[in-house]
Structures are given as C-alpha cells and as structure tokens.
Amino acid sequence: MLSLSVGTPASAQQNDRDVCFKGSGQQAIAACTRRISQATGKNLAIVYYSRGYEYLKLRQLDLAIADFTQSIRIDPSFLNPYVSRCLSLRGKGEFAKAVTDANSALRIDPNNREARTCLERAQQRIPYPAPN
C-alpha cells in the first residue's frame, strides 16, 4: 500500500522556524520570509532581525538595513538590530548613521562590546573638516 505523507501546517511552521533561526543563506531567508506573515510582536522583530542577519552575511546590505530597521520599529528595545545595522551602514560607508546606531545600542547595553567596536570604527572613518 502506498502512503503519501503530507506535512501539517504546524510541522511546516515549526520547520520554517527552525530553518529561519538556525539555518543559513537563502534557505534561512526564505524560511524567515514565510515566518513574517505568521509572527507578531517581539517574535516578528526577531524574525526580521534573523533575516536581516542572513542578508548581512551575504553582503546584501540594503536588504539587511531594511530588515534591521523593521525589527527596530517593532521592538525599539531589541539591541541586536542596532548593532547589526551599524555594521551594515559601516559596510556602505554611511559612518555617521552607523555612529547613531552604535550609540542607540549602547543606551540599551552600555557594556556591549560589539556596539562599542562598531562605534569606534565608524567614528574613525567620519571625515572631519580640516582646521582653518
């Protein structure tokens, strides 16, 4: 007897959750994209962050920045998207904006090493006017 196994929506959702948070690359991005329509509140902020982080690793900086911005909009107290957006902005040469994000992250956690490093590296790259 031939039996076809069809995944239930709950198992498919669990698989997307696992792949979104633990996978990598395009597979994780696709799973996170599907999760966006299912998640709410802080969970939605985490999904946007997770997808943005995958974009950052792939150097798709504009997409990463857009997702980190969405994550921050949903949960302004979530530290990680500020730090990751700082890194993304630095990668694009937008050093003043990167400094702003690093400072926002440091307001949430003054001892965060990644935020402090991003701040210092962005500040070093901001062109200052030459003295008169």
- Sole residue written with tokens 């599907």: 34
Give the integer Cα–Cα distance in Å for 35 and 44: 8
Q: Is residue 51 a contact partner of residue 29, using CB atoms and an 8 Å limit?
A: yes
Contact residues for 83 (Cβ-Cβ < 8 A; gap 6+): 101, 102, 105, 112, 114, 115, 118
The full set of domain ranges for the chain reads 13-76, 78-126
In the block, residue with structure tokens 């802080």: 42
- Tens digits of pLDDT across the chain (132 residues): 444 444 435 666 778 888 999 999 999 999 999 999 999 999 999 999 999 999 999 999 999 999 999 999 999 999 999 999 999 999 999 999 999 999 999 999 999 999 999 999 999 988 766 566
State pTM to two decimals.
Answer: 0.85
pLDDT score, position 129: 62
